[in-house]
């Protein structure tokens, strides 16, 4: 009996075929980088104040004094959501009285912005905020749009795995790329905030499904030695590259509809890849379609310039790739013992906090001092070294201390921001970027670490439950950034405190580096550093354990 890896070993690990699959699948993740965080610019909130109708019978002096002043962030600025009663001002202006001299402005009655708002055009020409006046009493709608996008991500994560298992990795990859592109295009013609948000939810569903399909397709086609590289560097760095493109597009295109169009059109570039990227031979074999799988491998052999054997897949010799044992496991098995229940609870908390920190900081860039486009670009660039560092740590150092160090770094620097004097703005931005670096590194590592803690029989369910918590964290994250409009330091205090607590929590998880992957619940590593109790004395090669395909297949759900 031979397994898939043994049957296809003649292809080699890093031939031209593998390089083609590696880079094309990684490139398919680029739209995820700019679509997911495009709301930073689409829903950007410029400086605004109550509009005073041009026809109002006011002197220039009273028109300039019509907006009350308020203290915001330690600076006195015109109010964004109120003005002095217009009828009173008209009467005072007609009487020839002067504001601040004949009349004390503090004694005048105020009213909301009954005639709309005037928006600054210095940063944005138009956004959904200026189009539908999502300010003051309606300012909750901007974060709600972002949360609905992540609700779509949550819904998509429910169905993406099942769809790719039933219809194939390639079919789901390209259909969800099309879904993401089409619904983004329809968004351009939105006539209301409600219409925009509904289609944004659908874009979120397509985005995660595309990500999962590309992730699984890559892990199933690529060999063991390349799989870790693809999962930690290939996918993540191309995502960061897409994220970097976002502020570049937004800088040159200040109108939200034109920006959305520019972010949608690159989706058309992936159409030719349908004839280049193959279906997963593993999936075809699992469906009994041996001839199609063999045709793909023969084509790969031709591309790699190696000779394929006369018979590649013999159904009588190939192991059943879908066999998982006779016993059926359910989500309730994640609570069967005190040990697995503790690990599940800790993992859920950890994933949720890391997700809040990552997306909270990414969405908070408009609230930073300085240029919003530069800050967003820096937030994207800092992810590249974070992914590289996390890859090196995963290869060479214990998981528990690596994760805890990254979380402590991210959390502590966020807490220090409130101590920085207001005139040293560059230092504040540097600390935010260091915080993003730490949290991004932890986010990259937590996938592999969590998968190594769960046994094979419930690994997909364990990582799936943790990933679900991550989606819930991302749904909450816009409101952490939203708090920055009221108190500049509050989001950093909350995210920093939670991140430090998650670092402490990580220290109580068992260490999995260099340990055999558990196959049963009884073989699981114990919380609080108790010694590992294997069910058998058989040893496995630690490198193979780190690159076990079970890990990487499960991390995508």
Half-sphere exposure of 368 (CA within 13 A, CB side): 30
Compute CA distances 79 → 83, 104, 111, whole Å.
Answer: 7, 17, 11
pLDDT tens digits, 174-213: 888 888 899 999 999 999 999 999 999 999 888 877 777 7
pLDDT of 10 > 50? The answer is yes
Instruction: Count CB-CB contacts under 10 A for residue 75.
Output: 8
What pLDDT does 149 receive? 92
What is the pLDDT averaged over residues 13-31?
A: 87
Composition of the chain by helix, strand, coil, percent to 5: 65, 5, 30
- For every residue of 314-362, which 3-state class applies, written as one string? CCCCECCCCCCCCCCCCHHHHHCCHHHHHHHHHHHHHHHHHHHHHHHHH
SS3 99: strand
What is the reported pTM? Answer: 0.82
Q: Please state, as a whole number, how many other Cβ atoms lie within 10 Å of the Cβ of residue 142.
A: 26
The pLDDT mean for the chain works out to 81
State pLDDT tens for residues 343-373. Answer: 888 888 999 999 999 999 998 888 888 889 9
pLDDT attached to residue 517: 60
Three state DSSP letters for 527-542:
HHHCCCCCCCCCCCCH
Domain 328-530 matching CATH 1.10.3720.10: the answer reads no
E-only strand ranges, 170-250:
none
Q: Which residues are CB-contacts of 283 (< 8 A; sequence separation ≥ 6)?
A: 164, 165, 168, 169, 220
Check if the beta carbon of residue 511 is closer than 8 Å to that of residue 398.
Answer: yes
* pLDDT value of position 315: 61
**Among 134-143, 269-278, 529-538, which is the least confidently predicted range?**
529-538
Domain layout of the chain by residue ranges: 1-44+125-313, 48-119, 328-530
pLDDT attached to residue 527: 66
Say if residue 13's pLDDT is above 50. Answer: yes
pLDDT interval class at 253 (50, 70, 90): very high
Instruction: Tell me what the mean pLDDT of segment 262-268 comes to.
Output: 90
Contacts of 493 (CB under 8 A, 6+ apart): 414, 415, 418
Neighbouring residues of 320: CB distance < 8 A, sequence distance ≥ 6: none
CA pair distance 279, 164, nearest whole angstrom:
11
The pLDDT confidence band at residue 382, using thresholds 50, 70 and 90, is very high
Half-sphere exposure of 63 (CA within 13 A, CB side): 10
Between 389 and 105, whose confidence is greater? 389
pLDDT at 330: 67
* pLDDT 10s digits, 493-518: 999 999 999 999 888 888 777 776 66
pLDDT at residue 5 greater than cutoff 50: yes
Helices within 50-168 (DSSP H only) = 60-64, 86-94, 128-132, 141-167
Are domains 1-44+125-313 and 328-530 of this chain identical in fold? Answer: yes
The whole-number pLDDT of residue 327 equals 56
| Region 4-24 average pLDDT | 81
In this structure, what token pair is assigned to residue 496? 């920093």
Has residue 540 got a pLDDT over 50?
A: no
Who's near 225: CB < 8 A, 6+ residues apart?
A: 13, 14, 547
- Answer yes or no: is pLDDT of 529 > 70: no
Q: Residue 406 carries which DSSP code?
A: H
Tens digits of residue pLDDT in 56-94:
888 888 888 888 888 876 778 888 899 989 888 888 888
Taking domain 1-44+125-313, whether its CATH number is 1.10.3720.10 is answered by: no
- The SS3 assignment for 288 reads coil
pLDDT at position 75, please?
79
d(CA 224, CA 546): 9
Residue 126, classed as helix, strand or coil, is strand
pLDDT digits (tens, 9 = 90+) for 289-318: 878 888 888 888 888 887 777 767 666 655
Rounded to the nearest 5°, which phi and psi values hold at 56?
Answer: -65, 135
Q: What is the pLDDT of residues 129-182, one digit of tens each?
A: 999 999 988 988 989 999 999 999 888 877 776 777 778 888 888 888 888 899
Residue bearing the bigger pLDDT, 336 or 345: 345
Is pLDDT of 252 > 90?
A: yes
Angstrom distance (rounded) from CA 473 to CA 358: 10
Which of 74, 146, 71, 84 has the alpha carbon at shortest distance from 112? Answer: 84
Determine the average pLDDT of the residues in 532-545: 41
Q: Are 521 and 335 in contact (CB under 8 A)?
A: no
Per-residue pLDDT band at 230 (split at 50, 70, 90): confident
Q: What is the dihedral of CA 376, 380, 386, 390, to 10 degrees?
A: 130
């Amino acid at each position: 009996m031979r397994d898939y890896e043994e049957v296809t070993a003649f292809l080699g690990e890093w031939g031209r075929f593998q390089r083609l699959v590696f880079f094309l699948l990684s490139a398919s993740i680029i739209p995820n980088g700019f679509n997911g965080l495009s709301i930073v610019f689409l829903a950007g909130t410029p400086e605004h104040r109550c509009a005073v109708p041009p026809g109002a019978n006011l002197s220039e002096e009273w028109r300039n004094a019509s907006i009350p002043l308020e203290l915001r962030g330690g600076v006195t600025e015109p109010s964004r959501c109120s003005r002095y009663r217009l009828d009173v001002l008209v009467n005072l202006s007609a009487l020839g009285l002067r504001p601040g001299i004949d009349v004390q402005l503090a004694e005048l009655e105020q009213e909301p912005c009954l005639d709309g708002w005037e928006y600054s055009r210095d940063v944005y020409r138009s956004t959904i905020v200026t189009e539908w006046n999502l300010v003051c009493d309606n300012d909750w709608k901007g974060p709600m749009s972002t949360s609905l996008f992540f609700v779509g991500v949550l819904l998509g994560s429910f169905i993406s795995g099942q769809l790719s298992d039933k219809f194939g990795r390639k079919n789901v990859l390209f259909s969800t790329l099309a879904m993401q592109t089409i619904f983004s295009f329809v968004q351009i013609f939105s006539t209301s905030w409600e219409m925009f948000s509904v289609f944004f939810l659908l874009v979120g569903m397509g985005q995660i499904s595309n990500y999962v399909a590309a992730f699984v397709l890559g892990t199933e086609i690529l060999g063991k030695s390349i799989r870790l590289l693809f999962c930690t560097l290939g996918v993540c760095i191309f995502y960061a590259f897409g994220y970097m493109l976002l502020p570049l597009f937004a800088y040159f295109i200040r109108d939200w509809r034109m920006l959305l169009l520019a972010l949608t059109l690159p989706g058309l570039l992936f159409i030719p890849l349908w004839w280049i990227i193959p279906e997963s031979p593993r999936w075809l074999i699992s469906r009994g379609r041996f001839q199609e799988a063999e045709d793909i491998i023969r084509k790969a052999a031709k591309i790699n310039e190696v000779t394929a054997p006369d018979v590649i897949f013999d159904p009588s010799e190939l192991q059943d790739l879908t066999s998982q044992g006779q016993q059926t496991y359910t989500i309730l098995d994640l609570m069967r013992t005190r040990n697995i229940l503790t690990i599940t609870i800790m993992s859920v908390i950890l994933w949720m906090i890391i997700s809040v920190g990552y997306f909270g900081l990414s969405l908070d860039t408009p609230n930073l001092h300085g240029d919003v486009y530069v800050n967003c670009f820096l937030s994207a660039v800092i992810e590249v070294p974070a992914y590289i560092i996390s890859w090196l740590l995963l290869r060479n150092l214990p998981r528990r201390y690596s994760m805890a160090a990254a979380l402590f770094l991210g959390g502590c620097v966020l807490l220090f921001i409130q101590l920085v004097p207001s005139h040293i703005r560059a230092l504040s931005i540097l600390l935010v970027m260091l915080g993003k670096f730490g949290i991004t590194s932890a986010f990259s590592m937590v996938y592999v670490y969590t998968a190594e803690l769960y046994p094979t029989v419930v690994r997909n369910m364990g990582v799936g439950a943790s990933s679900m918590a991550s989606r819930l964290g991302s749904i909450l994250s816009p409101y952490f950034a939203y708090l920055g409009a009221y108190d500049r330091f509050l989001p950093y205090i909350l995210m920093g405190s939670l991140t430090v607590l998650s670092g402490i929590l990580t220290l109580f998880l068992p260490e999995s580096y260099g340990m055999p992957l558990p196959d049963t619940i009884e073989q699981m590593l114990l919380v609080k550093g108790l010694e590992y109790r294997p069910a058998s004395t058989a040893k496995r090669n630690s490198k193979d354990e780190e690159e076990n395909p079970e890990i990487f297949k499960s991390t995508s759900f």
